[in-house]
Amino acid sequence: MIVAIDGPAGSGKSTVSRLLSARLGAVYLDSGAMYRTLALACMEEKVDTENEDAVLALFKSIDIDQKIVEGGQVVLLNGRDVSEAIRTLEITAAVPPIAAMPRIREQMRVCQRAFGEKAGDGMLVAEGRDMTTIVFADADVKFYLDASPMVRAQRRHNELKQKGVEVGIEELAREIERRDNSDIRREVGALKIAEDSVVIDTTGLGIDQVVDRLYEEVQSRRGR
């Protein structure tokens, strides 16, 4: 069974998806982490992130993997733990041009579907921007999570603060707006709501409430 979850930055998607997959005993795919890892590889290898041929050649030469371990998620670049390195503001800013490249998205789709095969007959929870519309357009259950821009900026602020990084809410709100623009406007793999998605506004909801809501929906579809 495939559960696909999309939504904008700060919608609570990643946290909720991780908790949901743990509760379901599912394989978890954080597709954003793959884009982030490719951006990190470009920076490390000094590959021009505007040059699609060069980015694609690099992508095909590296190995990106991820797994859930006790205490969190581990993202690997050629076997090296880059879980922290891909979460910096610098990487966040470097991803959008890469995520807008059609051949990169095509190759990502192939890799993401291959990763999904790990679930076998079990469950997969895949989250990102185009999981419900393209990569797992045939998913059994689809969700679109959203929240008001201010709440999303506040959540990002809290997240960074926990890591000891102090960034003003206004700056984060601007960063989120920039990311929304590039996510929504790009020509391929744009963020949109799939027709058959269950849309959940997480603005006034706590994480557990959202996870419960998704879990119940998945369970009810399982019984069908």
Region near ligand DC per CB under 6 A, out of 28-36, 52-60, 150-158, 168-176 = 28-36
Question: 141 - beta bridge partners?
Answer: 3
Beta pairing class for 64-69 and 27-30: unpaired
Which member of 2, 9, 42, 147 binds ligand DC (CB under 6 A)? 9
Minimum separation from the CB atom of position 191 to ligand DC (A): 8
Region near ligand DC per CB under 6 A, out of 30-38, 57-65, 114-122, 143-151 = 30-38
Chain residues 119-178 in contact with ligand DC, contact rule CB under 6 A: 128-130
Cα dihedral value 15, 19, 25, 27, nearest 10: 0
The residue (of 25 and 114) whose beta carbon lies closer to ligand DC is 114
For the chain, the C-alpha Rg in angstroms (whole number) is 17
> 51: which residues sit within 8 A by CB, 6+ positions away?
none
Minimum separation from the CB atom of position 80 to ligand DC (A): 19
The residue (of 21 and 223) whose beta carbon lies closer to ligand DC is 21
The residue (of 116 and 128) whose beta carbon lies closer to ligand DC is 128
The residue (of 12 and 32) whose beta carbon lies closer to ligand DC is 32
Point out which residues bind ligand DC (CB under 6 A). 9, 31-32, 35-36, 95-96, 99, 128-130, 179, 183, 189
